[in-house]
Structure formats: C-alpha cells, structure tokens
Amino acid sequence: MGCEMTIEAEIFIRAPLARVWRVFSRLEQWKEWNTACAECRFVDGDGLDPGACFAFVVRPLVFPLQVRPRVVSCEPGREVVWEGSRLGIRAVHVWRFRETGEGVVLSSVERFRGALLFLGRLLGVPGRMHRLTVRMLEEIRFHCEEGTRPAGRGEAAGRFPGAV
C-alpha cells in the first residue's frame, strides 16, 4: 500500500493577473528569479500546452533531483496541472490563479503517492518540500511586484499534513 503526501501553499500577489501569469508561464525565464527550481527548460513543446514536457532540478534533500513533469491541462490565467513520476513516486501539481480586486491569489497544491514516501517522511521531506513551495511563491510575488514588498497579505501560507 502506498503512502500519500499533500503540500499546499498560497500567496497574495499585488499585481495584475496578466503579469502574474506572464511571470509564471515563462518557464525558460524562471532562472532569473526562481531559486527553488533550477535548470528549468522545455523538453517537448515550448509552452504550457497539454502534453508539453519540461524538466527542472529540485533539492528536497541534499542531492539534486531532476524531474520531468508533463502538462495535463492549462487554462491560461486560471489553472495549470502537471504530473510526473520519479523514483516510484507519482506527483500531480495544481496551480490556481484567483483574481481579486487588489491582485491575485496564487495557490499550489501538490499531491504525491508512492511507497517511498514513508522514507521521505522520516527524512523530513514534507517540511522541505513545503519550504521550497513557499519560497517559490514568495519569489513569484517579489518578481511580479517588481521588487516592492507591500505591507500585509503578502506572506505565503500553507500546510502539509505529511504522509498518510
């Protein structure tokens, strides 16, 4: 029986939806601002179209791990879903963009399933993955807001229940 883990976080970004989407959707430019994911590039396709595959490197532990998710669905400015498998663990990542009168709430929900997750829990992977997600959200916010740090509502919040 496999274990499950969900990492959730969201952030309020004081910027127009068009800008937030532009920053998020240009994966090839993530290297300019994103320290949570390295070497991001398209492997198959050149945009967030369904079926496109891209690669990036994360460090949930000490060693780097390259992942190659495939885009399942994309509604520009609303939702992107990608999924992939690595080391016997399957992940589905959903990004949602919700426009408010003052900006955009960007949320990230990533669900993992696989037998090796029990080991990841012992090694503290849920907390590390949550910190990477929060860091990426904060970097997106900072980049979208063009270097300004607005007061209030700007901190990323989230939860991770760990492996079940």
- Inside any domain, residue 93: yes
Chain-centroid distance of CA 142 in Å reads 15
- Inside any domain, residue 15: yes
Tokens in use for 21? 């989407």
Tokens in use for 164? 């079940």
In tens, the pLDDT along 98-124 reads 999 999 999 999 999 988 777 767 776
Q: Give 71's strand partners.
A: 82
What is the rounded distance in angstroms from the CA atom of residue 110 to the CA atom of residue 160?
10
Number of folded domains that form the chain: 1
CB 104 within 8 A of CB 98: yes
CATH code for position 142: 3.30.530.20
135: domain range?
Answer: 3-159
In tens, the pLDDT along 118-163 reads 776 777 677 888 888 999 999 999 999 975 444 444 445 544 343 3
- Inside any domain, residue 164: no
Q: Where are the alpha helices (DSSP H) in the chain?
A: 17-25, 117-122, 125-144
1 has a pLDDT exceeding 50: no
In tens, the pLDDT along 55-97 reads 988 776 666 778 899 999 999 999 999 999 988 889 999 999 9
- Inside any domain, residue 106: yes
Of the candidates 2, 54, 49, the one whose C-alpha atom is nearest the C-alpha of residue 27 is 54
21 has a pLDDT exceeding 70: yes
The letter for the amino acid at 159 is R
- Inside any domain, residue 7: yes
Of the candidates 131, 139, 138, the one whose C-alpha atom is nearest the C-alpha of residue 159 is 131
Helix, strand, or coil (residue 124): coil
